């Protein structure tokens, strides 16, 4: 017990952060840190008829466009702010679909509303319903009502932490524990909101397995233990034409146990992004 406490105490701040992620990524950690130091490459997403463009990471574009939208009627973006993935999804969804774009923070919800109004033309933004609520409790009011769901979950965001000395010096393993508790509440709720036959995209910009594949493993244990209630989909990007909105070149992605990951050291600075496609 005392040894575990000493390890926990040691893995704090910049040195603890470095040691922890080095233990996960080994020799690759050096190249990842080097890629974090470089400015991330944002790409322009411009919807014809909108007032403004939205700029976002090409890895975020890839994750958003990997979500199948054909025949979708009721779509949910559960943790939508600042709004980039909402814009991408809304611009590509069927004309008769409704997208519920939710954010729990009132300030971030206001920013989300502005993005929806300015980065989408009227004929599209009229079908986007912006709300402000705790996404982890939505399933207490509704169940199995959305046929397509994006959960871009709050996460450790290690690239941001690494580039901000304040957050890097405050880092500890307890941060991961706090975040995964929140992620599980959101993911289990999102799965309950998903209609049979529907598709859920779970994504983070985290590097640690606890927030990515291990979260999906937990979903398997909870919902697939007795019988198979969901399966995994592979992203189908071969025939997607994004030229109407962007000249983005989608980055390469790597397979993980249950999903996919885009890491900046091998994707020209894009990411990190983890995503997993689930069909109920």
Which helix (H) or strand (E) segment holds residue 96: the answer is none
Dihedral angle at the C-alpha atoms of 159, 165, 169, 171, nearest 10 degrees? -20
The answer to whether the beta carbons of residues 277 and 150 sit under 8 Å apart is: no
Which residue is catalytic, options 139, 155, 205, 276?
205
- The rounded Cα 67 to chain-centroid distance in angstroms is 12
Our answer to whether residue 205 is catalytic in this structure is: yes
Ramachandran class of 250: left when φ > 0, alpha when ψ lies in -120 to 50, beta otherwise: beta
Can you tell me the distance from the alpha carbon of 31 to that of 266, in angstroms, rounded to the nearest whole number?
Answer: 9
Task: Tell me how far apart the alpha carbons of residues 219 and 94 are, in angstroms, rounded to a whole number.
Answer: 29
Catalytic residue IDs: 205
């Amino acid at each position: 017990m005392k040894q575990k406490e000493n390890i926990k105490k040691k893995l704090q701040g910049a040195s603890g952060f470095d040691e922890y992620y080095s233990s996960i990524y080994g020799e690759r950690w050096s190249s990842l840190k080097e890629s974090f130091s470089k400015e991330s490459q944002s790409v322009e997403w411009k919807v014809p008829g909108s007032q403004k463009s939205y700029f976002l990471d090409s890895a975020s574009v890839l994750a958003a466009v990997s979500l199948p939208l054909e025949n979708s009627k009721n779509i949910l973006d559960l943790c939508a702010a600042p709004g980039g993935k909402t814009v991408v999804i809304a611009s590509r969804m069927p004309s008769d679909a409704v997208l519920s774009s939710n954010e729990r923070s009132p300030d971030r919800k206001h920013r989300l509303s502005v993005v929806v109004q300015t980065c989408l033309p009227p004929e599209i933004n009229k079908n986007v319903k912006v709300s402000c609520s705790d996404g982890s409790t939505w399933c207490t009011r509704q169940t199995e009502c959305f046929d397509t769901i994006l959960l871009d979950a709050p996460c450790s965001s290690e690239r941001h932490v690494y580039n901000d000395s304040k957050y890097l010096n405050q880092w500890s393993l307890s941060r991961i524990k706090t975040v995964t508790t929140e992620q599980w509440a959101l993911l289990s709720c999102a799965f309950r909101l998903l209609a049979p036959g529907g598709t859920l995209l779970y994504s983070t910009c985290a590097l640690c397995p606890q927030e990515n594949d291990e979260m999906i493993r937990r979903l398997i244990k909870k919902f697939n233990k007795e019988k198979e209630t969901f399966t995994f989909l592979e992203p189908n990007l071969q025939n997607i034409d994004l030229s109407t909105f962007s000249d983005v070149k989608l980055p390469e992605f790597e397979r993980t146990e249950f999903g996919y990951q885009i890491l900046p050291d091998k994707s020209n600075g894009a990411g990190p992004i983890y995503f997993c496609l689930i069909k109920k």
